[in-house]
């Protein structure tokens, strides 16, 4: 069994104990065109069965976060309900095949096995100078389209972070490292479930842990559980990675705003999003200035 450097000896031992009958090749995230997340370690397990090669995504959720057993179990219990909430809102997600809480030195993780969606993540796609701009624009358009396809009865307008915005029924870590255009189909998949960002009936976090998120709870709501916050954060990150074909950031921003106008997705929200982008994201900057310590 070959393994990548990002897999610890303890993780590898637990993997062998859990799947003693299979011989895996462990493919690192970089080799598979995937970015490593802040809250999980990710690898692809490749194995032979009946003369065919199969791949499954292996995540160690909460790796390096110092979660105790109760915390890990709480997060693990919410993965399936959170996944269902995202599917009901219109996102395509990989199949969640199996999860378990695993004890490792100094922490507990969630070992998760998911359907592997080949194609590489959106951050890698935007950063590649050999990818055509039309594929990059298609990716961005698909990311934007989905939050604006949510059922109206799941949304509400209210003040969050000092700004009247559209509240989503859940939070989501909407960045291009967390989406994949599936190879061969160009179907967009959202591939990040951890930590599950569910809201209660009062619109507050069902589970919030400063071990996972450095932003205070209200600020985290603004940037992950509102359409404006999620979209602005995603686009600001996209600007940092986009390569090939644009002379200036101003030209790239102008084309993005033009695409939004043509798609007619934003309605009354367009003015605020436009002003934020053109002014250099003052609302986001203020939200990120206050961090949990």
Contact call for residues 150 and 168 (beta carbons, < 8 A): yes
Using CA atoms, how far apart are residues 218 and 204, in angstroms rounded to an integer?
8
Structure tokens at 185: 């189909």
DSSP-derived secondary structure letter, 32? T
Residue that the structure tokens 């110092």 belong to = 66
Task: Map tokens 């994201």 to a residue.
Answer: 281
Show Cβ contacts of residue 267 under 8 Å, excluding neighbours closer than 6 positions.
Answer: none
Tens place of pLDDT per residue across the chain (293 aa): 333 447 899 999 999 998 898 899 998 777 777 877 788 999 999 999 888 999 999 999 999 999 999 999 999 999 999 999 999 999 999 999 999 999 999 999 999 999 999 999 999 999 998 898 899 999 999 999 899 889 999 999 999 999 999 999 999 999 999 999 999 899 999 999 999 999 999 999 999 999 999 999 999 999 999 999 999 999 999 998 887 667 788 888 888 888 787 766 566 788 899 999 999 999 999 999 865 43
d(CA 21, CA 263): 51
Tokens of 275: 């002003």
Single pTM value for the model: 0.91
Is 15 buried (19+), middle (13-18) or exposed (0-12) by CB count in 10 A?
buried
């Amino acid at each position: 069994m070959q393994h990548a450097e990002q897999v610890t000896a303890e993780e590898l031992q637990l993997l062998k104990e859990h799947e003693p009958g299979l011989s895996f090749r462990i493919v690192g995230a970089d080799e598979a065109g995937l970015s490593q997340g802040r809250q999980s370690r990710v690898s692809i397990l490749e194995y032979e069965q009946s003369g065919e090669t199969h791949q499954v995504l292996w995540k160690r959720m909460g790796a390096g976060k110092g979660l105790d057993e109760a915390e890990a179990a709480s997060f693990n219990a919410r993965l399936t309900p959170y996944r269902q909430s995202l599917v009901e809102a219109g996102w395509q997600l990989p199949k969640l095949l199996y999860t378990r809480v695993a004890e490792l030195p100094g922490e507990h993780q969630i070992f998760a096995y998911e359907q592997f969606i080949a194609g590489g993540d959106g951050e890698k796609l935007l950063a590649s100078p050999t990818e055509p701009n039309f594929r990059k624009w298609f990716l961005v358009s698909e990311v934007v389209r989905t939050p604006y396809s949510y059922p109206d009865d799941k949304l509400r307008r209210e003040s969050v972070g000092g700004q009247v915005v559209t509240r989503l029924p859940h939070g989501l870590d909407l960045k291009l490292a967390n989406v994949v255009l599936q190879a061969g189909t160009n179907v967009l998949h959202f591939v990040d479930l951890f930590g599950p960002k569910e809201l209660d009936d009062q619109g507050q976090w069902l589970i919030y842990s400063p071990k996972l998120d450095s932003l205070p709870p209200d600020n985290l709501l603004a940037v992950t559980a509102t359409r404006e916050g999620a979209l602005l954060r995603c686009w600001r990150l996209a600007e940092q990675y986009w390569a090939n074909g644009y002379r200036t950031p101003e030209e790239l921003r102008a084309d993005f705003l033009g695409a939004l106008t043509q798609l007619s997705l934003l309605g009354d929200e367009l003015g605020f999003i436009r002003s934020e982008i053109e002014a250099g994201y003052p609302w986001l900057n203020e939200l990120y200035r206050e961090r949990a310590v």
